[in-house]
Chains A and B, each alone.
Chain A
Amino acid sequence: MNDFQPQQPESTSPGLSEQEPSVDPPDWTHARSVDTAVADGQFHHVDPRSVPLERIGGWISIAVISGGGLIALAIMLLAGANTLSLTITGGAWLLVSSLLLWSTLVYPRKFFERLRYRVDEDGIEIHKGVWWRRIINVARTRIQHTDVSQGPLARQYGIAKLVIHTAGTENASVELPGLARETAMALRDHLVARGEADDGV
């Protein structure tokens, strides 16, 4: 995690999911200046703030699921269920909770440490995955359109996800999560900008 781009925190601009009738000029020029720096053919990691963001999401899931499970267990106890069903439910609850705990505490760091991307004139190459490690290569000529999306939490942190849509089937959309919003926009501009005309007949 030691060769990532220094990012400008963007906490005052509006979120992307609302309608943006016109874009403020400072946003665009800033993004453009990051553009050339990003498309340098070097590997980049995503924004390190994505890890605490994932963790928060994980804690919320734990609160909801494990909390709900606890309540269910308590109800079963009070209603006088037999020991066997209590043990089974309790065991299931333990299993699910430990999985959730692992995916909140351990997994985000591993995932984002492994996640890196490289952009050059011809396309983007994304390395991702912890257990099943993938390298996905999308050429610029094959990108149909792109999305930059942010959930409500991500907006506070200034983190966005870049989704690249292709005409493929299995890889119809390729996701690159955890980017700083500006980097995502700069990547989007770079990847979609093409001198030639369209790709249809």
Chain B
Amino acid sequence: MNPPIPGPDAQRPGGPPAASSHRLHALTLPLRLIGHAKKLILPGLIVLFLAREGSWEIYLMLMFVPSTIFEVLRYISMRYRFAHDELIVNSGILFRNERHIPFARIQNLDLVQSPLERIFKVAKVRIETASGTEAEATLDLLSLEAVERMRQNVFAGRAETAGAIEAPEEGETASDVVAPSATSAARVVLRVPTLDLARLGLIFNRGWALVAIAAGLAWEFDLWEKIPARDWLETNLEELDTLMAALFAVGVALGGMILLWCFSMIWTMMRFHGYTLERIGDDLRVTCGLLTRFAATVPRHRIQLVSVHESLGHRLMGRVTVRIETAGGREKEGQQTLSRKWFVPIMRRSDLPGLLHELDDGLILDDIEWKGLAPKATRRLVTKSLIITGLVCVPIILFLEWWGLLALILLPLAWWHAVMWVRLAGFSRTAARVCFRSGVLTRKTSAALCRKIQVVSLGANPFDRRWKMAKLAVDTAGAGPADHRIRIPFMARADAEQLMASLTREVEHSELTW
């Protein structure tokens, strides 16, 4: 029988005395409860004002009680302490869990601070290692001094980059970096001005999320009947003739779009305000946020894939977005999004080579020799696109009859898109990397280090076999956040086999280093 896991304060028999274990910060409970209450306030107000009598939504407010109990229990039971080369976190009351995280294995140390937490100088800390889908340890809340101590312990535990002492984390101003020890200094790589963030809001219109929420609320609470001006609108609309009604509709739609865009720009500006990317030794540190402050650390050698995205909007404004993938952790909103999907939310195209060099020495994505796809690839993709578009047009025509014929304009558009896609797609194998670019309107270019490639695979469906083509897929760890995989379709079979053999040789002779 295994002995029960000792409580957090028990000493290991026969070993050195355990370092004193620390509790979470004293303000954890009240701040967490306030956080829960905040999440329930908005729905509560909505329910209060809009719900009918005796509807069940009111009882959702009772959710507050069990979450309070849960928070108290969690606070009581969670402790952490530093052993000489690992962090030990004890949690749980009924099912006690003791988790040992070696410092050398810690990949990311991310912080999130809500405005209230910033006032009290505490933060939520997420510790990630290479494995697993969730963070290995989420400590909320810790005081900033405790975070600083943790950072020192973690980075001291990493033998290679000796003595890189981090600066204390943010206060009200952006990136106050205190000069650390002589071996490695924090160096600002990139700052994103607020105006660029406004541009980002224009490009990635997040207003649609608001529309979805509003539509959901309207459906749930039958808001349509409650609009006070409804009767007035209906009577007036009937008096307008078709042209005026059409103009009115267009005006409303345009007004709505502009409103959504404004909302999106404001959201982006607040979310990424004061974005700063610094390089400290071998680590890249990102900080941003106006109300809620985020800080994420990504060691350079953990980067698996770098992806550069340019949509039409990006190209018009001469900007790009850079996404990266690191091992461990699944995509979720919040700080993980920051350290991967929105690693560099927006930057000038001309600054890109400098940034790429900071991410990985010698990484260049301009001026490389792109190899194209198989010669017959255009024909295949055009055929496929036309068939799919045709299938889509059929129900439209059946439904809308004569107006449906307008949908036929999709066919030449699909043809153009397919031709351009094949023309612009390309792959390249340099000494240490494999790169792939694709896309017509939104152009995505990704580069994966051969050292980081996990599995190489080749696939061919019957059409591929007929045309002597194949699709090569390169699998890396933690794929997903970059929204672009290195999967090269319509390659000439000989090219695909050659690339696969060369990549496999490279992978076989390189040890995997996280």
- Does B510 reach chain A (CB closer than 8 Å)? yes
- Checking B158, B459, B504, B513 against A137 with a beta-carbon cut-off of 8 angstroms, the contacting residue is B504
- Of the listed stretches B54-62, B400-408, B426-434, B460-468, name the one at the interface; the rest are far from the partner chain: B460-468
- Chain B residues near A122: list those with CB within 8 A: 504, 508-509
- Contact: B478 with A141, CB < 8 Å? no
Chain B: residues with Cβ within 8 Å of the partner, total of 35
Nearest to B456 among chain A residues (CB) is A137
B-facing residues in A175-201 (Cβ within 8 Å): 196, 199-201
- Does A135 reach chain B (CB closer than 8 Å)? yes
- Chain B residues near A196: list those with CB within 8 A: 511
- Does B191 reach chain A (CB closer than 8 Å)? no
- Chain B residues near A137: list those with CB within 8 A: 455-457, 500, 504, 507
- Contact: A169 with B475, CB < 8 Å? yes
- Contact: A171 with B455, CB < 8 Å? yes
B-facing residues in A136-190 (Cβ within 8 Å): 136-142, 166-171, 174
Q: Is the interface of B mostly helix, strand, loop or mixed?
A: mixed
- Contact: A201 with B454, CB < 8 Å? no
- Chain A residues near B460: list those with CB within 8 A: 132-134
CA distance A137 to B104 in the complex (A): 30
Contact with B along A77-89 (1 / 0, CB 8 A): 0000000000000
Q: With A135-B458, A201-B104 as given contacts, are A170 and B473 in contact (CB-CB < 8 Å)? A: yes
Closest-CB distance, A169 to chain B (whole angstroms): 4
- Chain A residues near B478: list those with CB within 8 A: 169
CA distance A135 to B499 in the complex (A): 13
- Does A48 reach chain B (CB closer than 8 Å)? no
CA distance A169 to B305 in the complex (A): 13
- Chain B residues near A171: list those with CB within 8 A: 454-455, 457, 475
Interface centre among A131, A138, A167, A200 (most CB of B within 10 A): A167
18 pairs of residues in contact across A and B, judged by CB atoms under 8 Å = A122-B509, A123-B504, A133-B459, A133-B461, A133-B465, A135-B500, A141-B508, A142-B453, A167-B512, A168-B477, A171-B455, A174-B455, A199-B511, A200-B104, A200-B105, A200-B130, A201-B104, A201-B158
User: B residues near A, CB below 8 A?
Assistant: 104-105, 130, 158, 301, 327, 453-462, 465, 473, 475-480, 485, 500, 504, 507-514
User: A residues near B, CB below 8 A?
Assistant: 122-123, 129, 131-142, 166-171, 174, 196, 199-201
